[in-house]
């Protein structure tokens, strides 16, 4: 296969994971920034944006490892990866699992701008050269929509985990006791 085709395919893969994060981040901050004092849960959900970005990077790492699956040799990796800097930049999003890095949520947005740049540059090229292929823009928009859905899904998943953990922390713990051949579940006193 042609190396330029593989390079553009890897760029689209990275865009599919990361390009929608900028829009999700911006919309979440504009919608929920004023409600932090009224509803502390929403403010906490917005604070999970860097962690959702880190989970996105972890999924990207898993996708790359799946693509390399049978052979993890350095030679195979060197031949398979056409854009190593873009891959490394995408994998750097895993550093947002570190609490000291994730405290500054704007860093995740700044890190994400390189992936959003690819979409913006394709749109700009389409604007200045109208005779350019419209399929590039159609593909970019499909990838961007998939990325937005993926980012919203990950943020929703983390928010659901937050809700469940908050709910179970407030409930009384249960004790399981074995009587004869059956188990009885009773609420423990605090």
Give me the sign of the Cα torsion angle 59, 63, 64, 68: positive
pLDDT digits (tens, 9 = 90+) for 119-155: 888 888 888 887 667 788 888 889 999 999 999 999 8
Domain count, the chain: 1
On whether the CB atoms of residues 17 and 63 are closer than 8 A, the answer is yes
What does each C-alpha distance from 44 to 21, 48, 79, 104, 148 come to in angstroms?
18, 7, 43, 14, 21
Q: Write out the residue range of the structural domain in which residue 60 sits.
A: 3-187
CB atoms within 10 A of CB 153: 11
**75 has a pLDDT exceeding 80:** yes
Most confident of 48-57, 63-72, 175-184: 48-57
Average pLDDT, whole number, for the chain?
A: 81
pLDDT digits (tens, 9 = 90+) for 21-61: 999 988 888 877 655 445 556 666 677 889 999 999 999 99
Question: pLDDT higher for 75 or 55?
Answer: 55
What does each C-alpha distance from 186 to 16, 173, 183, 189 come to in angstroms?
48, 9, 10, 9
The reported pTM is 0.78
């Amino acid at each position: 296969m042609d190396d330029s085709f593989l390079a553009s395919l890897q760029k689209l893969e990275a865009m599919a994971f990361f390009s929608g994060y900028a829009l999700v981040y911006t919309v979440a901050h504009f919608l929920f920034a004023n409600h932090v004092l009224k509803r502390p849960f929403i403010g906490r959900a917005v604070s999970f944006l860097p962690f959702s970005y880190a989970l996105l990077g972890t999924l990207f790492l898993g996708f790359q490892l799946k693509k390399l699956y049978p052979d993890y040799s350095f030679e195979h990796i060197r031949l398979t990866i056409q854009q190593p800097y873009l891959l490394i930049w995408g994998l750097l999003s895993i550093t947002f699992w570190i609490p000291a890095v994730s405290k500054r949520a704007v860093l995740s947005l700044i890190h994400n701008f390189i992936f959003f740049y690819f979409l913006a540059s394709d749109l700009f090229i389409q604007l200045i050269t109208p005779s350019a292929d419209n399929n590039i823009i159609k593909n970019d928009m499909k990838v961007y929509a998939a990325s937005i859905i993926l980012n919203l899904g990950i943020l929703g998943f983390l928010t659901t985990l937050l809700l469940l953990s908050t709910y179970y922390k407030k409930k009384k713990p249960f004790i399981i006791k074995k009587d004869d051949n059956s188990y009885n579940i009773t609420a423990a006193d605090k």
